[in-house]
Copies of this chain bind each other. A is one copy, B any other.
Amino acid sequence: MLSQRQAPLVAALQQCGQRPNVAFYTPGHKRGQGISALHRAVLGGEVFRVDLPELPELDNLFAPAAVIAQAQSLAAEAFGAERTYFLANGSTCGIEAAILATCGPGDKLILPRNVHRSAISGLILSGAMPVFVSPVYDDGWQLAIGVTPTAIAAALTEHPDAKAVLIVSPTYQGICADVGAISAITHRYSLPLIVDEAHGPHFAFHADLPMPALQAGADVVIQSTHKVLSALTQASMLHVQGGRCDRNRLLQALQMVQSTSPSYLLLASLDAARHQMANHGSVLMARTLALAEQARQELNQLLPLRTLQQADLSEEFRLDLTRLTLDCSTLGITGFDADELLNEQFSVTAELPTLNLLTFIVSLGNTANDIEQLGDAVKELVQNLVDPLRTSLKSKIPSTSSGQATRYPLPTPHSSLPTFSPRQAFFTSSQACPLADATGQISAETVCAYPPGIPTLMPGEAITETAIAQLQMLQQAGATFTGNSDVSLKTLRVVQPHLPTFPPH
Residues of A in contact with B, size category:
35 or more
Bound CA–CA A475/B503 (angstroms): 40
Q: Interface digits, A39-60 against B, CB 8 Å rule (1 contact, 0 not)?
A: 1011111111011110110000
Determine which of B34, B347, B351 lies in contact with A26 in the assembled complex, contact meaning CB atoms within 8 Å.
B351
Q: Given that A36-B272, A265-B43 are known contacts, is A255 also in contact with B121, CB under 8 Å in the complex?
A: yes
Residues of B within 8 A of A106 (CB): 502-503
A189 adjacent to chain B (CB < 8 Å):
no
Bound CA–CA A230/B347 (angstroms): 33
Min CB–CB distance A458 → chain B (angstroms): 14
Q: Closest 9 CB pairs between A and B?
A: A90-B259, A30-B365, A34-B365, A44-B46, A24-B360, A39-B272, A28-B363, A104-B427, A121-B256
Min CB–CB distance A34 → chain B (angstroms): 3
Please state if A234 and B350 are interface contacts (CB–CB under 8 Å).
Answer: no
Residues of B within 8 A of A17 (CB): 42
Min CB–CB distance A499 → chain B (angstroms): 14
Determine which of B21, B262, B362, B503 lies in contact with A24 in the assembled complex, contact meaning CB atoms within 8 Å.
B362
Please state if B505 and A227 are interface contacts (CB–CB under 8 Å).
Answer: no
A407 adjacent to chain B (CB < 8 Å):
no
Please state if B51 and A232 are interface contacts (CB–CB under 8 Å).
Answer: yes
Please state if B28 and A229 are interface contacts (CB–CB under 8 Å).
Answer: yes
Please state if B265 and A19 are interface contacts (CB–CB under 8 Å).
Answer: no
**8 A-B pairs whose Cβ atoms sit less than 8 Å apart in the complex:** A21-B347, A21-B348, A28-B202, A43-B46, A46-B46, A116-B260, A257-B257, A265-B265
Please state if B348 and A24 are interface contacts (CB–CB under 8 Å).
Answer: yes
Bound CA–CA A34/B53 (angstroms): 27
Please state if B272 and A35 are interface contacts (CB–CB under 8 Å).
Answer: yes
A266 adjacent to chain B (CB < 8 Å):
yes
Residues of B within 8 A of A27 (CB): 226-227, 230-233, 365
Please state if B42 and A365 are interface contacts (CB–CB under 8 Å).
Answer: no
Q: A42-B272, A125-B256 are in contact. List 17 more A-B contacts (CB 8 A).
A: A17-B42, A22-B347, A22-B349, A24-B362, A26-B224, A26-B228, A26-B233, A33-B365, A38-B272, A39-B276, A43-B269, A90-B261, A90-B262, A104-B427, A105-B502, A233-B262, A265-B265
Bound CA–CA A351/B26 (angstroms): 7
Residues of B within 8 A of A349 (CB): 21-25, 55
A14 adjacent to chain B (CB < 8 Å):
yes
A31 adjacent to chain B (CB < 8 Å):
yes
Bound CA–CA A257/B349 (angstroms): 29
Bound CA–CA A502/B258 (angstroms): 26
Output the nearest chain B residue to A364 by Cβ-Cβ distance. B34
